[in-house]
A and B are shown apart, each in its own frame.
Chain A
Amino acid sequence: MKFTVSWLREYLEFDASLDELSEKLTSIGLEVEEIVDRAKELEAFKVCHVLKAEQHPDADRLRVCQVETGDGVVQVVCGAPNARTGMKGVFAPSGVYVPGTDLLLKPSKIRGVESNGMLVSEREMGVSNEHDGIIEMPEDTEVGLQYAKLAGLDDPVVEIAITPNHQDALGVFGIARDLAAANFGTLKTPNLDPVEGQFESPIGVRLSFPKDVTPLPCSRFLGRYVRGVKNGPSPKWLQDRLISIGLRPISILVDITNFVTFDLGRPLHVFDADKLSGDIQPRLAKEGEKLLALDGEEYSLSATDCVIADDAAPQGLGGIMGGELSGCSDDTVNVFIEAALFDPIAVATTGRRLGIESDARYRFERGVDPGFVESGMEVATRLVMQLCGGEPSHVVSDGNGPDWAKKVTLRKSRVKELGGVDVDPAEMLQTLDRLGFNPVDNGELISTDVPSWRMDIDGEADLVEEVMRIHGYDNIPTVPLPRLNAVATPSVSPKQRRVRTAKRALAGRGMIEAVTYSFLPSDQAALFGGVKPELVLANPISADLDAMRPSLLPNLVAAAGRNQARGFNDISLFEVAGTYHSDQPDGQQTVAAGIRAGASGGRHWDGAGRAYDVFDVKADVLDLLDAIGGPAATAQIVEGAPEWYHPGRSGVIQLGPQKRLATFGELHPSVLDAMKVKGPIMAFELYLDNVPLPKAQGKTARDPLKVSDYQAVERDFAFVVDVDVTADKILRAARGADKKLITDASIFDIYEGERIGEGMKSVALSIRLEPLDKTLTDDEIEAVAAKVIANVEKSSGGTLRR
């Protein structure tokens, strides 16, 4: 909402400065977004007297002028054809910014002659496009006066943001009323006296809605015929008002409607009465009915749109825009003025569907004062008569408008209890009174009517806000929130803490955290398990962000692709966030996922980096599982990862078939092909919600450390087994030989080749024996070794390699 300070002064007497006005507006909830003060921008541009203008010795088109600035005489070289001795012009001294040319003036030499400052044109000042010559002021103008003031540019334009509850401030008068309530000045009320009608309107009004439509899209319509008007360009004051807030003057009749819209927040319409046939009938449009609107566009209407029609056709979209065919022109002689009330939701729905932005729609969809319809008509009639002449009819009307009367009570104590500040009850009463409420002091309570222009007020809390905003939020003392505990207690649950730990654990492994969108293209989701129809957005921001992600991996893979395109091939990224499996709260899972592409270490003088393989991500996911307190040591690792992994290079970490904790592996080449990303890429996904929380929360003591001082023994074995026998099987069998003595079993060599035979492999493992109570004898060691051999041979079907 834009207005100028002089416009505001029409309704508010005040002495305060522009800065004070700005602060007050913001402090009462009418936030100032911008103030354009041309007078301040142009304050250095002052009237001057050209004492002498002589030909430049070295340039035909330049003149050397001696200029009396009011601040001494300076020499200016000027190229304007009208620069001449004795004229009064406008001077800008050195050091001043010239807005029209975007230049900072500096003393200079022009063709060898010194020049200080500038004699300016209107275009150079940025006040018009006039550039035929420098500005000429009347000869009797006093030297040293500010040009902006003489040119009437000293009326600052204020733009404020309007919150949805303050439709009452969508007119200058409403803003003045709020400021007056805050003691900022004295309110001046507009002249709302009725204009007496001289005859019966030849055009009647008839609300024509089906009985079952509630609320009525148009609940009240006032019309008045004015005959014998003369349209034409508006007087200067009216044009200036509109131009000052960025509106284009069109003709008196149109300008009046725009002016009242911004002056009093009351949108109006004026029909050329001679272009109407029959009575005015606000009604629902017929499906497919067409309307050529004032913006020159033809709109196709639907059966829920409210139109203002005559006997023949729609002549306007109710509360949004008038029709071109019944609009006023310079030839208009008889007019029909409309002041009506439209339902906010109906206006918003139609406006949105048709994509029409208008000042009327903006106001009606926020709610126009239902108590100001008659007054709006009187103001409009008076302006038409003043500016266009003519003779008014009696007002015709139909409909009663909505029932807006409300009563609200305020417990005086609630201002302190909610607002945290003591406000004198007398101030509460005064504030509400000035805001147009009708407060009555009932001891502990204030009972009040709600003014018609404050449809947002419907409870005690609203009254507290009214009192508080006028009293000033800055006057609320700042109070510390009482501490509940002397020392803070943990703010995160164990599950939340695990998420934080997971991020730092993965970053600690050299991976970089990514945050990606929760949605992705459906076709990428399809590569990672697919997306249910219920998780495809009805209105995605773009077609490639339409599906809620079933996995974190596709976004990470796409990110790898983008980085590859930038020339970075060694990529370790992770994300800890949600995946979506149904549209219900329990359908969201928290997952930690990561990818590694390229090589660890990269190319280097000490050798090429090692290409990432499946065991890098296996290490990532096992370490992560360990870091969050999960069962890394006891979980099973089996085959059977989802289809987006390489079938032979992937695995699942689980606590039994029903309890999958994680999957890892190389991504399937066809998935990468489909996403056009270079492979191979290793990946893992850890389903945090599936990982059991450590038992015994709150137990901080560790189990006692048991170490042995007796000699530990290591023994190596090699077994020839079928190539399909898993390492896990062999290690489990070896460990199982003596769970007490054997503290570690590891594989240190794998060999496949001619010496072993087709379909077989040799697996070399080392076991470590740590006796707890005595040094082992050779016999005891041999006995354990024999058991290891027996166990492994039995479970793997292989033989010890001799």
Chain B
Amino acid sequence: MQDINKLESELLAEVGNVKDLDALEAVRISALGKKGQVSLLMRGLGQMAPEERQEVAPKLNQLKKTISDAIDDAKAALNRAAMEARLASERVDVTLPVRPENKGRIHPISQVTDEIIEIFADMGFTIAEGPDIEDDFHNFTALNIPPEHPARQMHDTFYLPEKEDGSRQVLRTHTSSVQIRTMESIKPPHRIVVPGRTYRSDSDQTHTPMFNQIEGLVIDKTSHMGHLKGVLKEFCRAYFEVDDVEMRFRPSYFPFTEPSAEMDIRCTFAGDHIKVGEGDDWMEILGCGMVNPKVLAHCGIDPNEYQGFAWGMGIDRIAMLKYGIPDLRAFFDCDLRWLKHYGFVPLDVPTLGGGLSR
């Protein structure tokens, strides 16, 4: 009996002294292995008298369980310590910068074009497009711009070489040429907007020889200047994301509209920042008017039956206004710093439901 108690305390002491899993395994084998001390004692039970066996067997079983539990606990503790040691060794400096990744950007012109299209799509407009290289008829004549008009001069318009028949192709000076192509090829009514590249022979601080315009055209039997104001007001409210925009329509002149107007909106200039919708100043943002009956006639549309309005504005310009971009020329320079700063994240697709601007 005393042997059992003594053995127990000896074995527990051994278990308590082990420092690693290998030593613990050695202790387990010496105690509980086939030839272990506890196993040998268990084997001796067979030779015992039944009475003695009845007394010793439970104690031996208890000893086996006690030692076995102690070994399991020691094993768990050693495992835990080993894990802690490993984790401690795996420490990294989490303040290290992440691996560089390329972040794509959408150019402000594309983003703002998408914003504008989203607004006009809601008002039932579709997108029309046309070629950058135009003929004289579509760019000038059909738009009621006579041959001697200053806009046709070489210092305003880019020309391609003169052909044998004396004609010259031009780089379109406005997207209005697409009005003509649309009205020629599709029967009215029309509700289109036309984004695209346009070209004028101009290069300074605020002009680039290529710029982007968006044109709108509505042709039906009833639309008048009140509707024109309505469309543009809704556009400004949605685009600039303000509840109300005070607008001013001034009589102006374009060969292809009659009556013609220019539209100003209220704004405040505060340093290099412009606040739109309120203030003491006016800012011109577009030209517009009722389509000149001569233009309709050029496209084979009877001006006595159909009428409508058109407008055109600079995409680059209203992008600059909305997003506070100072220099037009930088739009086309491809400076990575500029593109990353003023560009848009590709997932920021403008929608009316999700909000236009970022």
Same assembly: yes
On A, residues with C-beta under 8 Å from B are 26-29, 31, 163-166, 344-345, 348, 352, 416-421, 456, 459-462, 464-465, 468-469, 473-474, 476-481, 483-485, 488-493, 496, 500, 503-519, 533-542, 545, 548, 555-556, 559, 562-563, 566, 568, 570-573, 577-578, 580, 583-585, 587-588, 600-602, 604-606, 609
Contact of B161 among A344, A538, A542, A606 (CB under 8 A): A538
Known contacts A504-B346, A517-B208, then 15 further A-B pairs from the complex at CB < 8 Å, ordered by chain A residue? A462-B258, A464-B290, A478-B230, A480-B234, A491-B120, A507-B104, A513-B339, A515-B332, A517-B210, A540-B158, A583-B133, A583-B160, A583-B169, A601-B101, A604-B97
B278 at the interface (CB under 8 A from A): no
Q: Which residues of B contact A519 (CB under 8 A)?
A: 209-210
Contact of A469 among B197, B203, B251 (CB under 8 A): B251
- CB closest chain-B residue, reference A607: B99
With A and B bound together, what is the CA distance between A700 and B165 in angstroms? 52
On B, residues with C-beta under 8 Å from A are 96-97, 99-107, 109-110, 114, 117, 120-127, 129-133, 148, 150, 153-155, 158-163, 168-169, 171, 191, 193, 197, 199, 201-203, 208-210, 218, 222-231, 233-234, 248-253, 258-262, 290, 292-294, 307, 331-337, 339-340, 343, 345-347, 349
Contact of A476 among B100, B109, B148, B225 (CB under 8 A): B225
B181 CB to closest chain A CB (Å) equals 8
Quick check: B160 and A534 within 8 Å, CB to CB?
A: yes
With A and B bound together, what is the CA distance between A605 and B94 in angstroms? 13
Quick check: A506 and B104 within 8 Å, CB to CB?
A: yes
B264 CB to closest chain A CB (Å) equals 9
With A and B bound together, what is the CA distance between A274 and B125 in angstroms? 70
Q: Which residues of A contact B126 (CB under 8 A)?
A: 490-493
Q: Which residues of A contact B226 (CB under 8 A)?
A: 419-421, 476-479
Q: Which residues of B contact A578 (CB under 8 A)?
A: 132, 197
Quick check: A515 and B331 within 8 Å, CB to CB?
A: yes
Q: Which residues of B contact A163 (CB under 8 A)?
A: 252-253
Quick check: A562 and B249 within 8 Å, CB to CB?
A: no
A169 CB to closest chain B CB (Å) equals 12
A595 CB to closest chain B CB (Å) equals 11
Quick check: B293 and A490 within 8 Å, CB to CB?
A: no
A598 CB to closest chain B CB (Å) equals 11
A-B contacts, 27 of them at CB < 8 A, read: A348-B150, A419-B225, A421-B225, A464-B258, A468-B251, A473-B250, A473-B261, A488-B124, A489-B121, A491-B117, A491-B127, A492-B117, A507-B105, A508-B346, A511-B104, A515-B331, A534-B160, A534-B169, A538-B160, A541-B202, A562-B333, A562-B335, A566-B337, A573-B334, A577-B197, A583-B169, A588-B133
Quick check: B110 and A513 within 8 Å, CB to CB?
A: yes
List of 6 A-B pairs having minimum Cβ-Cβ separation, nearest first: A510-B102, A420-B226, A29-B251, A507-B104, A559-B334, A491-B121
- CB closest chain-B residue, reference A536: B161
Q: Which residues of B contact A559 (CB under 8 A)?
A: 333-334
| A512/B224 contact (C-beta < 8 A), A479-B229, A541-B203 known | no
With A and B bound together, what is the CA distance between A714 and B349 in angstroms? 42
Q: Which residues of A contact B101 (CB under 8 A)?
A: 510, 601
Q: Which residues of A contact B97 (CB under 8 A)?
A: 604-605
With A and B bound together, what is the CA distance between A602 and B126 in angstroms? 44
Quick check: A484 and B334 within 8 Å, CB to CB?
A: no
With A and B bound together, what is the CA distance between A423 and B228 in angstroms? 18
Max count, chain A CB within 10 A of own CB: residue among B163, B226, B227, B339: B226
B214 CB to closest chain A CB (Å) equals 12
With A and B bound together, what is the CA distance between A587 and B135 in angstroms? 13
Contact of B132 among A419, A580, A600 (CB under 8 A): A580
Q: Which residues of A contact B107 (CB under 8 A)?
A: 513-515
Contact of B105 among A481, A512, A541, A604 (CB under 8 A): A512
Max count, chain B CB within 10 A of own CB: residue among A462, A465, A566: A465
Quick check: B160 and A465 within 8 Å, CB to CB?
A: no
A764 CB to closest chain B CB (Å) equals 29
Quick check: B123 and A483 within 8 Å, CB to CB?
A: yes
| A488/B121 contact (C-beta < 8 A), A473-B250, A507-B104, A605-B97 known | yes
Quick check: A537 and B160 within 8 Å, CB to CB?
A: yes
Q: Which residues of B contact A580 (CB under 8 A)?
A: 132-133
- CB closest chain-B residue, reference A558: B334
- CB closest chain-A residue, reference B126: A491
| A563/B336 contact (C-beta < 8 A), A492-B117, A539-B159 known | yes
Contact of A537 among B127, B159, B230 (CB under 8 A): B159
With A and B bound together, what is the CA distance between A541 and B159 in angstroms? 11
Q: Which residues of A contact B203 (CB under 8 A)?
A: 541-542
- CB closest chain-A residue, reference B100: A602
Quick check: A483 and B124 within 8 Å, CB to CB?
A: yes
Q: Which residues of A contact B122 (CB under 8 A)?
A: 488
Contact of B340 among A345, A417, A459, A512 (CB under 8 A): A512
Q: Which residues of B contact A26 (CB under 8 A)?
A: 248, 250
| A473/B153 contact (C-beta < 8 A), A534-B160, A539-B158, A583-B133 known | no
Quick check: A500 and B158 within 8 Å, CB to CB?
A: no
With A and B bound together, what is the CA distance between A120 and B241 in angstroms? 50
With A and B bound together, what is the CA distance between A610 and B264 in angstroms? 53
Q: Which residues of A contact B208 (CB under 8 A)?
A: 517
A165 CB to closest chain B CB (Å) equals 4
Q: Which residues of A contact B191 (CB under 8 A)?
A: 484
- CB closest chain-A residue, reference B344: A507
| A481/B227 contact (C-beta < 8 A), A510-B101, A541-B209 known | yes
Q: Which residues of A contact B345 (CB under 8 A)?
A: 507
Q: Which residues of A contact B131 (CB under 8 A)?
A: 584-585, 587-588
- CB closest chain-B residue, reference A582: B133
- CB closest chain-B residue, reference A568: B336
Quick check: B346 and A474 within 8 Å, CB to CB?
A: no
- CB closest chain-B residue, reference A366: B150
Quick check: A548 and B133 within 8 Å, CB to CB?
A: yes
Quick check: B343 and A513 within 8 Å, CB to CB?
A: yes
With A and B bound together, what is the CA distance between A586 and B292 in angstroms? 29
Q: Which residues of B contact A348 (CB under 8 A)?
A: 148, 150
Contact of B110 among A496, A503, A568 (CB under 8 A): A503
| A518/B210 contact (C-beta < 8 A), A465-B259, A496-B129 known | yes
- CB closest chain-A residue, reference B201: A541
Contact of A419 among B162, B201, B224, B336 (CB under 8 A): B224
B335 CB to closest chain A CB (Å) equals 7
Q: Which residues of B contact A493 (CB under 8 A)?
A: 126-127
With A and B bound together, what is the CA distance between A555 and B333 in angstroms? 10
With A and B bound together, what is the CA distance between A477 and B97 in angstroms? 59
A487 CB to closest chain B CB (Å) equals 9
Q: Which residues of B contact A27 (CB under 8 A)?
A: 250-251
With A and B bound together, what is the CA distance between A286 and B94 in angstroms? 87
With A and B bound together, what is the CA distance between A604 and B197 in angstroms? 41
With A and B bound together, what is the CA distance between A513 and B107 in angstroms? 5
Q: Which residues of A contact B193 (CB under 8 A)?
A: 491
With A and B bound together, what is the CA distance between A600 and B102 in angstroms? 8
- CB closest chain-A residue, reference B120: A491
Max count, chain A CB within 10 A of own CB: residue among B117, B150, B233, B346: B346
| A481/B218 contact (C-beta < 8 A), A419-B259, A541-B201 known | yes
Q: Which residues of B contact A509 (CB under 8 A)?
A: 102, 104
Quick check: B197 and A512 within 8 Å, CB to CB?
A: no
Contact of B346 among A460, A507, A515, A516 (CB under 8 A): A507
- CB closest chain-B residue, reference A580: B133
Q: Which residues of A contact B168 (CB under 8 A)?
A: 538
Q: Which residues of B contact A535 (CB under 8 A)?
A: 133, 160
B122 CB to closest chain A CB (Å) equals 5
Max count, chain A CB within 10 A of own CB: residue among B106, B228, B250, B337: B250
- CB closest chain-A residue, reference B189: A484
With A and B bound together, what is the CA distance between A186 and B187 in angstroms? 49
Quick check: B201 and A539 within 8 Å, CB to CB?
A: yes
Quick check: B339 and A572 within 8 Å, CB to CB?
A: no
Contact of B336 among A533, A571, A602 (CB under 8 A): A571
A503 CB to closest chain B CB (Å) equals 6
Q: Which residues of B contact A459 (CB under 8 A)?
A: 258, 293-294
